[in-house]
Structure 1
Amino acid sequence: MYPDPTRRRPRLVAVSAIAVAALTLTACGPDITSAGSEAASDRLQAPTAEQPEGEITIWDRSGDLFEVFDAVIDDFNEKYPDITVNHQAVDIDAKLQNTLITGTDVPDGVFLDDAMVSGYADYLWDLSDVLDPYVDDIAPQKIDANSFDGGIYGVPYDLDPGLLFYNAAALEDAGVDVSAIETYDDLLDAAKEYQGVNPESHPIHLEQSGFLGQLQLEMYASQMGTSIADADGELRLDSPEYKKILTFLDTVQSEGLGTRAEYLTPTDIAELENGNQVFYPWAIWFSFAPQQLLPETSGDWKAMPLPAWEAGGARSGAMGGSSFVLPKDGENSELAWLFYEFLMYDEAGYSAVWGPNDVYPDGLNTSIPAYLPAADPKSPLFEPVEALGGQDLWAVATKAGAQIPAGTSIPPWWNGAAEYLGNDIQRMLDGDLTPEQVISESTDAIQKNLIDRQ
């Protein structure tokens, strides 16, 4: 039995999709880095008292994940009985920027999308020192995503490996052997084979949202160890890797192999349920769909690693993710660090977050921990997923996550880039641009309108 979907849906929309509401910020990211804050290199230090005491204010989004974190507070207080946690459900995208600018009622800790961390870096503690005992055991991609200008500004929360979800029942009926899918060329061949049996089908999902389309593009790029910008924030769209990805997407569209729809909208769901759309390359959080939104095909779906771009290449890339940040103007940021340290690096904490609980009776199965000792393929924190035919999603996701290449920091203008790159991908899928034109036009627009204006 799964929880009420009205409780689960906010987590999937707000967290896993990197909060589309973030687009309400300025196009170049939050314009707060020039205000009178301390140097961004200031490093937080852990408390030295044997029994630290005080009150901390922690901001999280409302919804089921808030309830999960809230339930861990009692366990935290068994270890730190003199720290009171004031846990608040907040519209972070609406409140955080102005709160940091004014310095009024600043929280000690905040749940934040990875794509927004660098834009707030000047107002956050550099966590390099407190993370030092753990950094070698955290997924490299997550450390890189939270790094900016020599510091680490977020406590990595989740790892969101890309997986290939597929309708196993429909594909078996069509005689398609999914075990033969090892590369994206193999995926095209499998889609053609399925379409040969089901002529009305368009087997592969093509994302129609500009924002999520850009997020998925970065998942594909992550597999090849690249991203929209390098470690210095320089654009690198003009590369063989991005040309290969865009050519693949263009091929899926031009050959009629793709269903264009926005992620889990009614049209998308209908095409999943009727067997027209049977391949969904997406982050682990797509597992929400068979559990809550696909009653007719629930149990038919399974997950496997993404195809590789080249034989022997990485079989997963990162798609989305969140972390915890600690504002410098919080009154007790060092105590908030103890709370996040418990959540992420103490077995009692991370087991309570991802393991079976009142909110998720079978465990939280829409992400895996970024802390590698917690993401042990042989020690599952959540149960096999009935809606995936009883598949051990933990084993699939943790093995895929281990293949994600290291990356770079996410530039402050990442969200704003969707207005250009995300939209240009859609223009390509409309037949109005070639892959080369997407690269050229998006590069020029992002450089001129976002990077040069910082």
Structure 2
Amino acid sequence: MVRSLPLVAVTSPTRRDVLRGLGGLAAGGTLAACGVPTESGEPAALGSSAPPSGAQARGEVTLWMRDDDLLKVFRTVVPAFNAKYPNVKVNLKGVDIATKLPPALVSGTGLPDGSFWEDDQIGQHADHLYDLSTLMSKYRADTVQFKLDVLTHHGRLVGVPWDTDPGLLYYNDEVVTGAGIDPASLTDYDALLAAARAIKGKNPKARPIPLEQDNTLSMMWYTMFLNQQQGHGLVDASGNLTLDGEASRRALTWIKAVVDEGLGARQKFAGTAQITMLDEGVISLVPWAQWFIFIPQSGLKKTTGKWRVSSLPAWTKDGARSGLMGGSSFVIPDKAKNPELAWLFYEFAVYQPDGYRKVFSKNSVYPTGLNTLVPSVKSALDPAKPLVDKLPQLGGVDNWAISTKAALEIPAGYTAPSWYGQAAKYLGVNIQRLMDGKMSVDEVIAKSMADIKKNLIDRN
């Protein structure tokens, strides 16, 4: 399974110098696309001249990936890349990125030329990364805007957007219809609560909606509810905290209702207990990231084929029925030896059909295609040209059409604070206390704002 932020029980979770002088780079590397060091000490931009093309591109490039299925998938891309760039040797290495990349960025030693990275970690290290704004300019219109928003820090676009993880609603069709509920009626969160009540009324042991026990995942869930509402995040465009705003209160109040009415199952995502509850029909309504798909696809036995997927409910009348929960991108360290070669590989794998089809379509790693996420490239999100198969585990619904529609409808205008990846130790912890019945909505907001301001904003 591939997903874009650390998942419990699957894998363990997880600035400032200019580019070294051009003459110190590895022999044979072509540097036509490199930016130049700046006298101000700000990281240089990449793309001040045209990148090399075809046989003109020469050298060796080292790219870090997580050491998992994603590494295997991207290795299948290399032959197609070399058909276009025959003189570039690509070394894809599986490493513990969360442990190895941050210190390498700070020290400037042992760096790769490019790396996969979780979006929530990129902001706090943005000034160790190349500004890719110039190179990305021709692809902006073809990129999901939310991803561009996430990767823009102080006006610098510091990553190549890779996957988009839209929020979707997964539900056990047998349980839902058995409680007299028309799945098509689940268009807002009040209706979802009403459905959960009806399901519990029919089966007192039911706890239809999952409530995560992990600090990071519970915060991601909450922020999915925020960015679903016209691009809201933890801060506004001026960097001011928005935890006490209407969107935040609405989401937290809804979560509290799930808790207070006994409609939620507190279990770790993909843990044994949660899998059992899903298979026994105890959990049956799951508003979650697209990567939940791997559970009905490969983790369930009794209820496989009974699950379906649809758009998220909306918070307001005619409101957005899509949000984002997770995501990852590719970054290029500003001290990389061959940054332009890293760019060429990422450009090919992400934006060119021969590349992204290799990644997402059926292959030896994913026989039905990589369906736990979708590309961030709009032209790749054609519902009429699916990159993945329909799944019998989801009753044969068109999961590609549903997920791509959701990705394209994620509201834009999001502002990503550089400290987002550190906020779970405060906001995530307090959301857990809300789920434990130990904090009110007002207390979660007040304490989280105070904690974040003191420990993350003022400190930076």
How many residue pairs align between the two structures? 435
Matching residue's letter, 1:204: I
CA distance in 2, matches of 1:43, 1:152: 10
Which residue type is aligned with residue 62 of structure 1?
Answer: D
CA contact (8 A) 1:353 1:364 kept: yes
SS of the residue 1:56 aligns to? strand
Instruction: Give the Cα–Cα distance (whole angstroms) in 1 for the partners of residues 407 and 283 of structure 2.
Output: 25
Q: Aligned with 1:359: secondary structure?
A: coil
Residues 228-239 of structure 1: matches in 2 within 5 Å? 228-239=234-245
Cα shift at 1:36:
6.9
Q: What displacement does 1:365 show?
A: 0.3
Asked if 1:52 corresponds to 2:54, the answer is no
Partner of 2:310: 304
Partner residue in 2 for 1:227 = 233
Q: Say whether residues 1:326 and 2:318 are aligned partners.
A: no
C-alpha separation in 2, matches of 1:35 and 1:108: 16
Which residue of structure 2 aligns with residue 443 of structure 1?
449
- Distance 1:36-1:135 versus aligned 2 partners, 3 A rule: closer
Structure 2 counterpart of 1:325, one-letter code = V
Which residue pairs with 2:401 in the alignment? 395
Q: Note the C-alpha offset of 1:94.
A: 0.9
Amino acid at match of 1:442: S
Mapped contact 2:7–2:269 kept (Cα < 8 A)? no
* Contact 1:16 1:321 (C-alpha < 8 Å) held by counterparts: no
Summarize the Cα distance change of 1:19–1:337 in structure 2 as closer, same or farther, 3 Å threshold. farther
Q: Distance in 2 between matches of 1:282 and 1:336?
A: 33
Q: TM-score, normalised by structure 1?
A: 0.92
Going from structure 1 to structure 2, the CA distance change for 1:16 and 1:392 (only over 3 Å counts) comes to farther
In structure 2, the residue matched to 1:355 is: 361
Instruction: Identify the match of residue 425 of structure 2 among 419, 425, 432.
Output: 419
Q: Which residue in the other structure is 1:204 paired with? A: 209
1:192 and 1:324 map into 2 onto residues whose CA distance is 43
How far the C-alpha of 1:408 sits from its partner, in A, is 2.8
1:166 matched to 2:166: no
Residue 67 of structure 1 and its aligned partner are, at CA, apart by 0.3
Counterpart position of 1:241: 247
Alpha carbons 1:57, 1:107 under 8 Å: kept: yes
Using the TM superposition, give the Cα deviation of residue 130 of structure 1 relative to its aligned residue in structure 2, in angstroms.
Answer: 0.6
Does 1:341 find its partner at 2:347?
Answer: yes
Offset of 1:137 from its aligned partner? 1.1
Q: Calculate the TM-score normalised by the size of structure 2.
A: 0.91
**SS of equivalent to 1:321:** strand
8 A contact 1:300–1:388 mirrored in 2: yes
Asked whether the equivalents of residues 206 and 260 of structure 1 are also in contact (C-alpha less than 8 Å), the reply is yes
Q: Which letter maps to 1:302?
A: R
Residues 147 and 16 from structure 1, CA distance in 2 versus in 1: closer, same or farther, beyond 3 angstroms? Answer: farther
Judge conservation of contact 1:124–1:325 (CA < 8 Å) in 2. yes
In the alignment, the residues of structure 2 paired with residue 344 and residue 34 of structure 1 have an alpha-carbon distance, to the nearest angstrom, of 27
Q: Deviations along 1:229-270, whole A, 9 cap, x unmatched?
A: 223433111101100000000011101111111211111111
Write out per-residue CA displacement over residues 382-401 of structure 1, whole angstroms, 9 at most, x where no aligned residue. 01012111221100101111
Q: Which amino acid aligns with 1:269?
A: I
Question: Contact (CA 8 Å) 1:70, 1:87: kept in 2 or not?
Answer: yes
Residue deviations 1:13-62, cap 9 Å, x none? 8556898633xxxxxxxxxx356776445211142455211110000011
Q: In structure 2, what is the equivalent of residue 189 of structure 1?
A: 194
* Closer/same/farther in 2, CA of residues 397 and 156 from structure 1, 3 Å limit: same
Residue 412 of structure 1: how far off its partner (Å): 2.4
1:78 matched to 2:83? The reply is: yes
Secondary structure of the residue that 2:138 maps to in structure 1? Answer: coil
Match of 2:275 in 1: 269
1:99–1:19 distance in 2 versus 1, CA, 3 Å? farther
Tell me, in whole angstroms, the C-alpha distance in 2 between the residues paired with 1:243 and 1:401. 25
Structure 2: runs of 5+ lacking an equivalent: 20-36
Question: What is the rounded CA distance, in whole Å, between the counterparts of 1:94 and 1:41 in structure 2?
Answer: 23
Unpaired runs of at least 5, structure 1: 1-7, 23-32
8 A Cα contact 2:430 2:444, kept in partner: yes
Residue of structure 2 in register with 1:145 after alignment: 150
- Cα distance in 2 for partners of 1:216, 1:319 equals 7
- Residue equivalent to 1:3: none
Contact kept? 1:167, 1:279, Cα under 8 Å:
yes
Distance in 2 separating the partners of 1:425 and 1:57 = 40
Letter in 1 for 2:80: D
Could you say if the C-alpha distance between residues 124 and 34 of structure 1 is closer, same or farther in structure 2, counting changes exceeding 3 Å? closer
Amino acid at match of 1:431: G
Deviation sequence 1:332-354 (CA, Å, 0-9, x none): 11111010000011101011101
Distance in 1 of aligned mates of 2:327 and 2:269:
17
The structural deviation recorded for 1:109 is: 0.7
How far is the alpha carbon of 1:170 from its aligned partner? 1.9
Letter of the 2:77 counterpart: V
Is 2:100 aligned against 1:108? no
* Identity percentage of aligned residues: 43
CA distance in 2: counterparts of 1:43 and 1:312, whole angstroms: 41
The letter for the 1-side match of 2:51 is: P
SS in 1 for 2:426: helix
CA distance in 2, matches of 1:172, 1:337: 49
1:252 and 1:80, CA in 2 relative to 1: closer, same or farther beyond 3 A? same
1:209-237: CA deviation from partner (whole Å, max 9, x where unpaired): 11100000010001112001223433111
